[in-house]
Amino acid sequence: MSLDVNPAGRPPDNGLGSEPTEPYRLVALEARRRHVGLGEILVERAIQVTGISAILLVLLIFVFLVREGLPTFADVPFGDLVTQRWYPIEGYYGLLPLIAGSLLITIGAATIALPLGVATAIFIAEIIPNWGREILKPFVEVLAGIPSVVIGFLGMVVISPLFRRSLNIPTGLTAFTGMVLLAWMALPTVVSVVEDVLDTVPKTYRDAGLALGMTQWQTIAKIVLPAGKSGILTALMLGVGRAIGETMTVMMVTGNAPRIPQHPFDVFMPARTMTATIAAEMGEVARGSTHYHVLFAVGLTLFLITFVVNLAAASIVFQRTRRSERMLS
């Protein structure tokens, strides 16, 4: 087997490597095929089972949500669900303030997180030298690991008093406080995804830009970012997914008043999200009551919204692979 792939007499360092020759690889393949034994089959089956169970779990969750949520529509007329008053003790089950609260805070958080995240990612991927990158990246990752209750706690004792005093508003527990904290939580996701995307933009693109007499900033803005556009959209979707599902932090800092914002300034008023409602009320609700079923209907709504967001993100990602395939051909 010890074929001398670099026989004496050849000039040294001529650029020819010592790649294994074709027959070697064929032999290796043959050997692999013969060794498919019991262990192999067991491992393959185990992987299959875990893979399928993941899909099954999602389906079961959905089925459960539907089963527990559907009676809502028998108990409460649909017209009553799309009203503006959420006051379950008196029998008012208007979902609109909760949906409005969730959407407002999510969109707000995404609006704050995206520019900050993209800017951070550009800084890490394009501008800062290597040593700085190695310090900054772990910090961003640590940020992702902070439990939401800790962030909520910080929000309650630090951020919200700060907002109350500096903005001179009755309470610091507002939709805006929630947006800022959620943006902070979504930031690591946005930064990592965008940074990965910027990394995949070929170096030749940057060279091409610079060679045309563009400055570094023009190259980033006009070539690197457009080339990574789909990845930035994916980051946005993932950030939105993270924000809309977040419960603990928003429950702690948004004040939990179920009202529909009427005025732009209402961002600085309390709001209540779907997630916070479920978390706050599920513990003290009578099992099987109308309120119980309505909370599941809220969960179902949330599930559908995140499903659509994830679907949108996935379709963008698939689009990207298709385009890169086209570019390679």
Partner 1 sequence: MADERPAVKIRIEDLAVRYSDGTESLHGITLDIYAHQVNVLFGPSGGGKSTLLRTLNRLNDLADVASQQGRVLLDGEDILAADYDIIQLRRRLGIVFARPVPLPMSVYENITYGLTLAGIKDREQLDSAVERALLQAALWDEVADRLTESAYALSGGQQQRLCLARSLALQPEVIMLDEPTSGLDPISTFKVEQTLQQLKKDYTILIVPHSVQQAARIADWAAFFLQGELVEWGSGHELFTAPQDTRTEQYITGRFG
Residue ranges in contact with partner 1 by CB under 8 A:
11, 13-15, 202, 204-215, 218, 222-223, 226-227, 326-327
Residue 24 or 217 having the CB closest to partner 1: 217
Residue 14 sits at φ, ψ, to 5 deg, of -95, 10
Residue 45 or 222 having the CB closest to partner 1: 222
DSSP letter assigned to residue 258: -
Q: How far is the CB of 329 from partner 1 (least distance, A)?
A: 9
Cβ pair 41, 54 in contact under 8 A: no
Q: How far is the CB of 8 from partner 1 (least distance, A)?
A: 15
DSSP string, 219-231: HIIIIIHHHTHHH
Residue 168 or 329 having the CB closest to partner 1: 329
Residue 14 or 168 having the CB closest to partner 1: 14
- Residue 6: closest CA among 22, 23, 19: 19
Q: How far is the CB of 229 from partner 1 (least distance, A)?
A: 8
Q: How far is the CB of 232 from partner 1 (least distance, A)?
A: 13
Strands 86-87 and 92-93: antiparallel
Q: Return the H-helix or E-strand segment holding 12.
A: none
* Cα 195 to Cα 210: distance, rounded to the nearest angstrom: 20
* Cα 128 to Cα 56: distance, rounded to the nearest angstrom: 45
Residue 214 or 317 having the CB closest to partner 1: 214
DSSP string, 36-61: --HHHHHHHHHHHHHHHHHHHHHHHH
Residue 219 or 301 having the CB closest to partner 1: 219
* Cα 35 to Cα 24: distance, rounded to the nearest angstrom: 17
* Cα 104 to Cα 245: distance, rounded to the nearest angstrom: 13
* Cα 232 to Cα 193: distance, rounded to the nearest angstrom: 8
Q: How far is the CB of 209 from partner 1 (least distance, A)?
A: 7
Q: How far is the CB of 328 from partner 1 (least distance, A)?
A: 11
Q: Kindly report each contact of residues 154-161 with a partner whose C-beta sits within 8 Å and lies 24 or more positions away, as own/partner.
A: 154/181, 155/181, 155/249, 155/252, 155/253, 156/252, 156/253, 159/253, 160/253
Q: How far is the CB of 269 from partner 1 (least distance, A)?
A: 43
* Cα 191 to Cα 235: distance, rounded to the nearest angstrom: 8
Residue 15 or 264 having the CB closest to partner 1: 15
Residue 8 or 327 having the CB closest to partner 1: 327
